[in-house]
Structure 1
Amino acid sequence: MPAMGADSVWPASAGRLSMVAPAFAGSLAVGLLCGYWEVPVAVWICAWAAWIALASWNHLALRLSPRYRERMVLAAVMVGAATIGALDIIRVDSLAAVSVARFAGQDVVLKGVVVSSRAGGRSPEAVIAAHCVDADGSLHQAAGKVRVFLSPGDASCGLAERLRYGDITESRIRLELASRPMNPGEPDLRTVSLQHGVHAVANADPGSVHVVGRRCLNPVERAAMWVREAIVSAARATLAPGPCEIFLAMALGDSSELDYDTLGSFRKAGVSHLLAASGLHVSLVVGIALQAAAAAGVSSRRSPLVGFLIAGVYAVAAGLRPSIVRAWLMFGLSAASRACGRRASTLHVVCVSATIQLILNPLLLWNAGFQMSYLAIVALCYLAPCFARIVPDRWSAPAASTLRTLLASTAVSTALLPIVANMTLELSLIGPIANLVAVPMGLVAMTAGLGGCIVWHIWPWLGSVMNAGSEAALTALASFVRAMACVPFSSVPTRMLSGWEVAAYYALLACVCAIGSDPFRRHRFRRASRRIAKRPAAVMCGVGILCFLAFRPAPFEVVVIHVGQGDAIFVSAPGGVSILVDTGTAHAGNRHVVPYLRRRGVKRLDLLVITHEHADHAGGAGAVAGLLRTECIAVPSCADGRTWAGILGEIAAARGGESSRVVRLSQGDVIRVGEVALEVLNPPPASTAAPDGRNIDANENSMVLRLVYRGFSMLLCADAGAQFERRILDEPPHRTWLTAQVVKIGHHGSSGASTFRFLEAVRADLAIVSVGRNGYGHPSPAAIGRILDTGAELRRTDTCGAVSVSIAPRLAAQAKRSEVSYTARDMRQVWARAPMFRKVCR
Structure 2
Amino acid sequence: MVFANCIIYVCGAFAAGIWLAGIRDWHVPTLVMLAIVLLSAALWHVQKKMQNCIWPLTGLFFIAGMIYYCQEMVLPADDISHYAGQTVIVEGMVDGVPEIHETGIGGRQLKYLINVETVKPLRSTNAVRASGKVRIYVHHKDNDKGKPAAYGNKIAVNGQLLELHGYNNPGQIDITMSLKRQGVTARMSAQAKDVKIVEAHTPFSWRERLNRWQNSIIKAMQEVMPVNDAAIITAMLFGGYEGIDKDVVADFTTTGLIHILSVSGAHMALVAGVVRWFSSRIRLGSLPSAVLAIMAIMIYAVMSGLTPPVIRSALMGLISLLAVMLDRENYAPVALAATALVMLIYQPLLLYDISFQLSLGATAGLVLLYQPTLAALKGWPAWLAGPLAVTVSAQLGVVPFIAWYFNNFSVISFVANIIILPGVELIIILGLAGVFIYTVFPAGGTVIFVLLSLITGGIVMLTALLASVPYSSVYIPSVGPAGSLVFYIVLAWVYGWRPWNIKGPRQLAGQWPKTSMLTAVMIVLLLIVANWYPHPVTVHFIDVGQGDATLVITPLGKAVLIDTGGSFGGSNFDIGERVVAPYLKHYGVTAIEYLILTHGHQDHAGGAAGVASHIKIANIMLAREDYTPAVQALLHGSHKAAIIPAYTGQVFSLDRVVFTIIHTPGGNAKGNTAAAGNEASSVIRVSYGQHSFLITGDLEAKGEEELLTKEIPPCTVLKVGHHGSETSTTLPFLQAVNPSFAVISAGYNNRFGHPHPETLARLTDKQNAIVYRTDKHGAIVFTSDGTTIVADTYVK
TM-score tier by shorter-chain length is 0.7 to 0.9
Q: After the TM superposition, which residues 392-541 of structure 1 pair with which residues of structure 2 at under 5 Å, given as runs?
A: 392-393=378-379, 399-493=381-475, 496-514=478-496, 525-527=506-508, 530-531=511-512, 533-534=514-515
Q: Does 1:77 align with 2:74?
A: no
Partner of 2:767: 790
Q: After the TM superposition, which residues 277-316 of structure 1 pair with which residues of structure 2 at under 5 Å, given as runs?
A: 277-286=263-272, 307-308=293-294, 311-316=297-302
Partner of 1:352: 338
Q: After the TM superposition, which residues 100-499 of structure 1 pair with which residues of structure 2 at under 5 Å, given as runs?
A: 100-105=80-85, 106-119=87-100, 125-136=110-121, 138-152=126-140, 163-164=150-151, 167-174=152-159, 175-206=161-192, 208=195, 210=197, 212=199, 214=201, 222=206, 229-230=212-213, 232-234=215-217, 236-237=219-220, 240=225, 241-286=227-272, 307-308=293-294, 311-330=297-316, 332=318, 345-393=331-379, 399-493=381-475, 496-499=478-481
Write out per-residue CA displacement over residues 74-123 of structure 1, whole angstroms, 9 at most, x where no aligned residue: 12321332233223223322345344333434332332143123446765
One-letter amino acid of the structure 2 residue matched with residue 250 of structure 1: M
Distance 2:26 2:491 in 1: 29
Distance 1:242 1:634 in 2: 38
One-letter amino acid of the structure 1 residue matched with residue 769 of structure 2: A
Distance 1:346 1:298 in 2: 24
The 3 A distance-change label for structure 1 pair 608 and 275 is: closer
Which stretch shows the higher mean deviation, 365-374 or 767-776? 767-776
One-letter amino acid of the structure 1 residue matched with residue 80 of structure 2: V
> Cα distance, 1:709 vs. partner?
0.9
One-letter amino acid of the structure 2 residue matched with residue 782 of structure 1: E
> Cα distance, 1:182 vs. partner?
3.8
Distance 2:627 2:273 in 1: 64
The 3 A distance-change label for structure 1 pair 441 and 519 is: farther
One-letter amino acid of the structure 1 residue matched with residue 27 of structure 2: P
Distance 2:36 2:398 in 1: 39
> Cα distance, 1:216 vs. partner?
5.6
Contact preservation (8 Å) 1:227, 1:314: no
> Cα distance, 1:498 vs. partner?
3.4
One-letter amino acid of the structure 1 residue matched with residue 485 of structure 2: A
Q: Which has the larger radius of gyration?
A: 1
Write out per-residue CA displacement over residues 616-653 of structure 1, whole angstroms, 9 at most, x where no aligned residue: 555555555555554455567xx4xx626999876654
> Bigger relative contact order, structure 1 or 2, given CA contacts below 8 A and separation 6+?
1
One-letter amino acid of the structure 2 residue matched with residue 597 of structure 1: L
Partner of 2:626: 643
Write out per-residue CA displacement over residues 167-211 of structure 1, whole angstroms, 9 at most, x where no aligned residue: 233142534344322444333321122234433334445563538
The DSSP-based 3-state class of the residue aligned with 2:97 is strand
Partner of 1:605: 592
Counterpart pick for 1:744 among 719, 725, 730: 719
> Cα distance, 1:574 vs. partner?
0.5
The 3 A distance-change label for structure 1 pair 293 and 578 is: closer
Gap regions ≥5 residues in structure 1:
1-14, 830-842
Write out per-residue CA displacement over residues 204-252 of structure 1, whole angstroms, 9 at most, x where no aligned residue: 45563538355765xxx74x76666545534533653444322321222
> Cα distance, 1:346 vs. partner?
0.8
Distance 1:147 1:775 in 2: 19
The DSSP-based 3-state class of the residue aligned with 2:694 is strand
Q: Does 1:767 align with 2:756?
A: no
The DSSP-based 3-state class of the residue aligned with 2:266 is helix
Partner of 1:569: 550
Contact preservation (8 Å) 2:98, 2:112: yes
Contact preservation (8 Å) 2:218, 2:230: yes
One-letter amino acid of the structure 1 residue matched with residue 556 of structure 2: G
> Cα distance, 1:155 vs. partner?
7.9
Q: Does 1:40 align with 2:27?
A: yes
> Cα distance, 1:294 vs. partner?
9.9
The 3 A distance-change label for structure 1 pair 534 and 83 is: closer
Contact preservation (8 Å) 1:448, 1:466: yes
Which stretch shows the higher mean deviation, 201-210 or 300-309? 300-309
Counterpart pick for 2:686 among 707, 711, 718: 707
Q: TM-score normalized by structure 1?
A: 0.79
The DSSP-based 3-state class of the residue aligned with 2:560 is strand
Which stretch shows the higher mean deviation, 103-112 or 568-577? 103-112
Q: Does 1:803 align with 2:780?
A: yes
Q: TM-score normalized by structure 2?
A: 0.83
> Cα distance, 1:360 vs. partner?
1.5
Q: Percent identity?
A: 24
Partner of 1:87: 67
Contact preservation (8 Å) 1:632, 1:662: no
Partner of 1:824: 791
Contact preservation (8 Å) 2:173, 2:354: no
> Cα distance, 1:350 vs. partner?
0.7
Distance 2:209 2:632 in 1: 57
> Cα distance, 1:572 vs. partner?
1.4
Distance 1:287 1:256 in 2: 28
Contact preservation (8 Å) 1:334, 1:344: no
The 3 A distance-change label for structure 1 pair 296 and 133 is: farther
Distance 1:176 1:487 in 2: 46
Contact preservation (8 Å) 2:232, 2:261: yes
RMSD over aligned CA atoms reads 4.3
Distance 2:186 2:742 in 1: 33
Partner of 1:656: 639
Distance 2:274 2:146 in 1: 35
One-letter amino acid of the structure 1 residue matched with residue 376 of structure 2: I
The DSSP-based 3-state class of the residue aligned with 1:534 is helix
One-letter amino acid of the structure 1 residue matched with residue 264 of structure 2: S
Distance 2:463 2:773 in 1: 45
One-letter amino acid of the structure 2 residue matched with residue 443 of structure 1: E
The 3 A distance-change label for structure 1 pair 149 and 675 is: same
The DSSP-based 3-state class of the residue aligned with 1:664 is coil
Contact preservation (8 Å) 1:308, 1:328: no
Contact preservation (8 Å) 1:322, 1:370: no
> Cα distance, 1:287 vs. partner?
5.6
Distance 1:769 1:225 in 2: 45
Write out per-residue CA displacement over residues 247-273 of structure 1, whole angstroms, 9 at most, x where no aligned residue: 321222133232323322322222121
The DSSP-based 3-state class of the residue aligned with 1:109 is strand
Contact preservation (8 Å) 1:254, 1:276: yes
The 3 A distance-change label for structure 1 pair 539 and 344 is: closer
> Cα distance, 1:29 vs. partner?
0.4
One-letter amino acid of the structure 2 residue matched with residue 672 of structure 1: S
